[in-house]
Structure 1
Amino acid sequence: MELNMNLSGNLNLDNEQAALAGSIWHNALKIIQPQLAKMLFVTWVEPLVPFYVDENYLYLAVQDNFSYRYLLKYVNLFEEALAASNSFKLQVKLFVGNEGMQQALASIKASTFNNSTDNQSQVSDPGQPNLPLDSNNTARKDTQKTAINNTTETSTAESAGGYVTVERPSSPTSTKTTTAPTQTISSANQTTNSSPLAAEIVVNPLYQQHFRRDYRFDNFIVGPNNTMAHAACLAIANSYFNPGQKPYNPLFLYGGSGLGKTHLLNAVGNMVMQHRPNTKILYLQTEEFVNEFIATIRKQNYNVFRNKYRNCDLLLIDDIQFIEGKEQMQEEFFYTFNALYENNSYIIITCDKHPRYLVTLEDRLKTRFLSGLACDINPPTYETRMAILQARAQSLQENIDPDIISYIAKNISLNIRELEGALNSVLAIKHLSGYINLALAQKALEPVIKRNMEKTVSPDFIADVVANYYNVSKAQLYSRCKESKFTYPRHIAMYFCRELLDMTYADISQAFNRSDHTTTRNACLKIAKSLSSDLQLQKELANIQKSLHEQ
């Protein structure tokens, strides 16, 4: 939706007020921007349009109802920034779209006119109907009755769509509707009373989901290792409220365990359910899908199973690699995927590897998984690990020596779960002994860090990572099998042992159960030679090296 910034002129209001509003808001943005994540600022705050200002209020226009609801929680921040940047206090009013701006400007014009003819004026909230007032300054009962009837009609219409809206009892002095096209807020104190989320939605029990409340976008630490995945998930969540957006579908997230894939799935679910509770979402582990399908075969109730999975609005499925080797299950998921895709339902899938390395997955499923957008999530960099640990300590209201945080971040790089586990160990010592210092932390974390370092530097760990990347077993790398699907990753593993660990060819041969180190030498030289011209090999080695946590 494009906002028309010439409305003030159309309503014969002074355009200088719009220019002044823009200048005041520009000053405030300099204070707001450093306090918010870049993605949040660009997505939500930057599009706000200041269109009028008076002695008490700054008027801002938002794109749509969802943006309005999302930005309510930042009104306090906006008002503090306005006070700090302009040396006078203003309250913020938010209006939705062109219609909201028109109503606001019309009310301002009416107020100005009334002030010129009468010292006393009644200016209603431009975002709500103008209710006639009786002698006691309260809304007439017949008007309230009409508003309540309008709400009831909305509830009936919504219930016809498969869910029921149950109105919470409202106070005698306030009448709320959940779908008003223009909603306003003048200060943080009015947030609760004027909140558009005044109705409790009861959805079809088939699609009632329970997401982890602590897995949200606002506490997901974004770094170079996950920027694309985070942005893609946020775009899909936003698309439910901004129909003009058309993110990639399906979205395939892949990466090792403990890197944040499940966090992102829950964040999408939490965001959609918070603002659109009637959305039919299915979130599950692939293992649950498999078990439910097995139960369906046993009970022969295919229609129930298919109606559930093929009629949802959003499918979030975790760890799709567990569908490998299950032919009948793959066929069922193939048809489920097609049905959802044709219905324009979004699909987000996570996996521990790229689809092309799911060896026993049918090609028709691989091509569908790759028809949208595939995003990898890599191990976090040192800076990202520091941010994760600091955010975790802050959420627990714990004050930890920065040297301890840095020590953990430098020595534990495998995944986020291990990072948080190490922090929990340090906090446990602090609570038990009453204090913690770097020496105590180092002693407590010695076994964890030793395991981490052994994994990071050992040929065995390299073999693990390479075998996982090419979807073969580590035993096959150590075997004497000469099939190309085993020899190729074996040569890659040998090459990494040579390059990263500076091992001799004899030591590499011994590590990989080879008797002739000449063969090992030839394998390493062959990979090195191909690397100069083979772009695909360069990409593969880069991905593997990231997985080996070479920061």
Structure 2
Amino acid sequence: MLYTVDTLLKDGRQLVFTSDRPPAELKALGPELVGRLSGGLVCRVEPPDYATRLGIARQLSRRLQIDVPETVLALVASHVTSSARELSGAINRLQVMSVALQQPITRSLAEQAISDLKDQWSTPVQLADIQRAVCDVFGIEVASLQSKRKVSSISHPRMLAMWLARKHTRAALAEIGHFFGRRSHSTVISAQKRVERWMRRQEPVRLSQQTCNVEEAIRRVEDLLRTA
């Protein structure tokens, strides 16, 4: 791949790459290719905000030539927040339900359609999902996260994983502690308090090849959880 990139760049071609993390964290590609990618323009693509989602929903309804009331478009834009693809799916679902039930598109019909779609999108987060995402973001092995090692490069991601487990799952303290290396429930409570203190103080944490504040690290892990 490095040879292909170099050849295309020498020919004056423009290359566009997408990934779910910054180039510096794509260590599996090797330092030379990561260096090429980092030397270009690196931009984070944020999820669309409400105004953008509302505009996308309007355009989709016009393209399909269906009459969707503004209140329904606002409802869709408020509840479907991840991507334009999901917005398209919601508008298509509204059209199909309207035709199948021979009913106009109303707020009541939209609530029914969105409720069904939300059930499809809201896959429960498992402890293993959090473990994988944390290991990916911090560049560590699963075995290290569950080990007895107490160096900060391992213990800090482990504490963050426990905090995320409390936030995103219904697992009990004892279950979380057991999953992350057969630890006690009091260890999980201590990890929660430590991460909350980091957040109050905006303390930095070390990722695979860079340092960022703890809230940025949490955001990156949660981005992976959403896209998994």
Same fold, TM-score > 0.5, yes or no: yes
Residue matched to 1:470: 137
Q: Once the two structures are superposed, what CA deviation does each residue of 1:426-479 show, in whole Å capped at 9, x if it has no partner? A: 110112233232222222332321243454xx4559727834852879x93897
Q: Once the two structures are superposed, what CA deviation does each residue of 1:362-392 show, in whole Å capped at 9, x if it has no partner? A: 1111111001111111222222222211111
Residue matched to 1:440: 109
By percentage of residues, which structure has more helix?
2
By percentage of residues, which structure has more strand?
1
Residues 378 and 511 of structure 1: CA distance in aligned 2, closer, same or farther (over 3 Å): farther
Q: Once the two structures are superposed, what CA deviation does each residue of 1:516-544 show, in whole Å capped at 9, x if it has no partner? A: 12222333344344442316134323444
Q: Once the two structures are superposed, what CA deviation does each residue of 1:259-281 show, in whole Å capped at 9, x if it has no partner? A: xxxxxxxxxxxxxxxxxxxxxxx
Residue matched to 1:427: 95
Q: AA paired with 1:361? A: L
Q: Is the 8 A contact 1:472 1:486 kept in 2?
A: no
Q: AA paired with 1:398? A: I
Q: AA paired with 2:212? A: Q
Residues 479 and 367 of structure 1: CA distance in aligned 2, closer, same or farther (over 3 Å): closer
CA distance in 2: counterparts of 1:461 and 1:344, whole angstroms: 44
Residue matched to 1:494: 162
Residues 480 and 543 of structure 1: CA distance in aligned 2, closer, same or farther (over 3 Å): closer
Residue matched to 2:213: 537
Residue matched to 1:342: 10
Q: AA paired with 2:39? A: S
Greater C-alpha radius of gyration: 1
After TM superposition, the structure 1 = structure 2 runs for residues 223-372 of structure 1, keeping only pairs within 5 Å, are 333-372=1-40
Q: Is the 8 A contact 1:408 1:422 kept in 2?
A: yes
Q: Secondary structure at the match of 2:44?
A: strand
Q: Secondary structure at the match of 1:350?
A: coil
CA distance in 2: counterparts of 1:358 and 1:400, whole angstroms: 43
Q: AA paired with 1:541? A: I
CA distance in 2: counterparts of 1:384 and 1:540, whole angstroms: 26
Residues 391 and 406 of structure 1: CA distance in aligned 2, closer, same or farther (over 3 Å): same
Residues 380 and 355 of structure 1: CA distance in aligned 2, closer, same or farther (over 3 Å): same
Residues 381 and 509 of structure 1: CA distance in aligned 2, closer, same or farther (over 3 Å): farther
**In the alignment, structure 1 residue 383 sits paired with structure 2 residue 59:** no
Residue matched to 2:82: 414
**How many residue pairs end up in the alignment?**
214
Residue matched to 2:207: none
Residue matched to 2:190: 522
Indicate the larger mover: 410-419 or 446-455: 446-455
Residue ranges of structure 1 left out of the alignment (5+ in a row): 1-332
Q: Secondary structure at the match of 1:347?
A: coil
Q: CA RMSD in A?
A: 3.7
Residue matched to 1:302: none
Residue matched to 2:70: 402
